[in-house]
Amino acid sequence: MNEILILGAIFVAVLIVAFGILSVVQSRRELAKNLEGKGGISRLSNEQLDEALGSNNPRMHYYLSVAQNEDVNSIGSRLVQAGFLSPSAVWWFMIIRFLVTVAALLLVQLLFLTFLPTVTTLAAMLTSTLIAGVTFILVSAVLEARGRKRKREHKKLFPDLMDLLLVCIDAGLSINAAIDRVTREFLQTTPDFGVQLSIISLEVRAGLPLHEAVSNFSRRIDLEEARILSVLFRQSEELGSSVANTLRSFSKEMRQLRIIRAEEKANSLPVKMLFPMALFIFPVNLIIVLVPILLIIMAMLSQLKPG
Q: What is the pLDDT of residue 165?
A: 87
Buried b (16+ CB within 10 A) or exposed e, 78-91: bbbbbbbbeeebbe
Closest by CA to 103, choosing from 141, 133, 132, is 132
Closest by CA to 197, choosing from 173, 210, 180, 177, is 180
Q: Is-contact 164 149, C-beta < 8 A?
A: no
Q: What is the pLDDT of residue 4?
A: 62
Q: What is the pLDDT of residue 156?
A: 83
Q: Is-contact 112 128, C-beta < 8 A?
A: yes
Q: What is the pLDDT of residue 39?
A: 43
Dist. CA 90–CA 88, nearest whole Å: 6
Q: What is the pLDDT of residue 40?
A: 43
Dist. CA 100–CA 140, nearest whole Å: 12
Amino acid, res. 97? R
Torsion, Cα of 87, 90, 139, 98 (10° steps): -130
Dist. CA 165–CA 248, nearest whole Å: 9
Dist. CA 191–CA 52, nearest whole Å: 10
Q: Is-contact 182 165, C-beta < 8 A?
A: yes
Q: What is the pLDDT of residue 304?
A: 74
Dist. CA 79–CA 203, nearest whole Å: 22
Over its length of 307 residues, how does the chain's per-residue pLDDT go in tens digits?
566 666 566 656 666 766 677 676 666 666 565 555 444 444 555 555 555 555 566 666 777 677 667 776 778 878 877 777 777 888 888 999 899 898 888 888 888 888 777 878 788 888 888 988 989 899 888 888 888 888 888 888 888 888 888 888 888 888 888 888 888 888 877 777 887 888 888 888 878 888 888 888 887 777 888 888 888 888 887 777 777 787 888 888 878 887 888 888 888 888 888 888 778 888 888 888 888 888 888 888 888 766 5
Q: What is the pLDDT of residue 296?
A: 86
Closest by CA to 218, choosing from 158, 153, 169, is 158
Q: DSSP code of 82? A: T
Q: DSSP code of 54? A: S
Q: What is the pLDDT of residue 38?
A: 45
Q: What is the pLDDT of residue 199?
A: 82
Dist. CA 214–CA 224, nearest whole Å: 12
Give me Rg for the CA atoms of the chain: 29
Q: What is the pLDDT of residue 45?
A: 57
